[in-house]
Structure formats: C-alpha cells, structure tokens
A and B are shown apart, each in its own frame.
Chain A
C-alpha cells in the first residue's frame, strides 16, 4: 500500500509543478514525469499493456509534440497577466468535494465490487479482448487517425504546392 501512495505523490507533485511553472517547456517536461508515474501505477496494477502504451505514447510522443510546438510558438509569458486571486476558492471547493464524497461514495464502491461477479473474466488474454470483443473499435481508431492526418495536412496546406503545378 505504501508504494501506491508514493507513486500517487509523484503524480500529484508532477501535476502541480506542471500547472505552476512559469516556462512552458518545464510544464511539458513535468507532463512527461506525470505520464511516467501513471505508467508505473499501471504496471503495479497488473496492467502491463496499458503501462507500455502510456510510457511509449504519452511520455514519449506527446512530450515530443509539446516541446516542438512550444519551440515553434515564440513564448512571451509576460503578456499574460493572469489574475489568479479570485481562484483561491478553488482548493476549498476541492476539499468540500472530497469530504462530501468520502461520506456518500463508499457505499457505491461496495456496490461496485459486487459487479465483479458479472465481469469476472480476467483470465482471458488481452488479445482476445482487443481483437474479438472490441474488434469493431479498430475501425473507429483507423477513422480517427486518418481524420487527424487529413486535418493536419489541411492545416499546414501551402498554396505554392498547387500554384506551381498550374
């Protein structure tokens, strides 16, 4: 139980540093640390495939995309005079939410553990889940990926490509 709390503290600390750091590049790096913490949590929850995807995609690819975008966008953070004083009430809302949910929610969690009877098929392999039970989602994934490729192609569309052909 100690190791979970340690991993969670790493995650929370990285999230707080990502929010409060002045430079955007530090925020991107702290986001990578947060992803590494989440993947460690997945590994300790006996979910290795999700951990591998998280570590390779979220900690690798998204960090590279973020850092390249931050370096392309010339940052001038002094421009943003953010008035954060009126949001000081936000942690109080968080505390109230946690206290109220700790009163009402554990009953729901006890009911949730009853669902384990109905979905107790964890002996089946992950490949069977992906290809057999959720195989139709592969079509949705391919559609989403191709849509994003077309969108990015049209965002960075250059007129000179077609004008020279004419």
Chain B
C-alpha cells in the first residue's frame, strides 16, 4: 500500500458524520431538511465504502460501487423533491406534522 491509512480515524469521522445526519433527520419538521439529513448519511456511507476499499486494497471495486450509489441517490433526491413541490402546491405547507392529516 502506498500510504498508511488509519482506518479507526476514518471510522471516527464517519460515525460523527452519520450522527449529524441522523440528528438532522430526527429533529427537523421541514421535509427538505429530512432529505438534507439523508444526503449527509449517504455521504458517510460513501466515505466508509471508499475508505474500506483503500484499506483492503480493492479501490476499483469500491469505485464501481460508489458510481451506482451516486445514481441511486440522485434518483431518490429528485423524486423526493418533486413529491415535496407537488405537496406544497396542494397544501401550502412542507411541515411533516401536517402529513398526519392525510391518513384515511
């Protein structure tokens, strides 16, 4: 391996990033902020995949996984934001608590 990679250091920052995203998803009532938290969590997962790929000397396999993951993430974000815009056009709110009124 060309450089010394300290994977426990990676693990520390990955867990901090995951908890920041989880905090954002748990606390906020704005639906767009939920998607922002989802984005932060998926970034931490990407860093975990790339760092473990570097650690096990299989970086190209990790890259091919990351490319697929980025595509899925873009699809999820685009569809979710389209649903949010449609929801806002109909009910004039993006509060997650107001979604409770939709149960039937």
On A, residues with C-beta under 8 Å from B are 1, 4-5, 8, 11-12, 15-16, 18-19, 24, 27-28, 31, 34-35, 38, 41-42, 45-47, 49-50, 53-54, 57-58, 61-62, 65-66, 69-70, 72-75, 77, 79-80, 82, 84, 87, 90-91, 93-94, 97-98, 101-102, 105-106, 109, 112-113, 115-116, 119-122, 124-126, 129-130, 133-134, 137, 140-141, 144-145, 147-148, 151-152, 155-156
Contact = CB atoms under 8 A, between A and B. Distances in A.
A65 B77 contact: yes
B100 interface: no
Interface string B69-98: 011111101110111111010000111000
A53 B74 contact: no
Given A58-B43, A79-B95, 7 more contacts: A15-B20, A31-B40, A42-B50, A46-B54, A50-B66, A98-B12, A148-B79
A84 B27 contact: yes
A134 B67 CA distance: 11
B81 A69 contact: yes
Interface residues of B, number: 71
Contacts of A112: 7, 52, 55-56
Contacts of A31: 36, 39-40
Contacts of B73: 58, 62
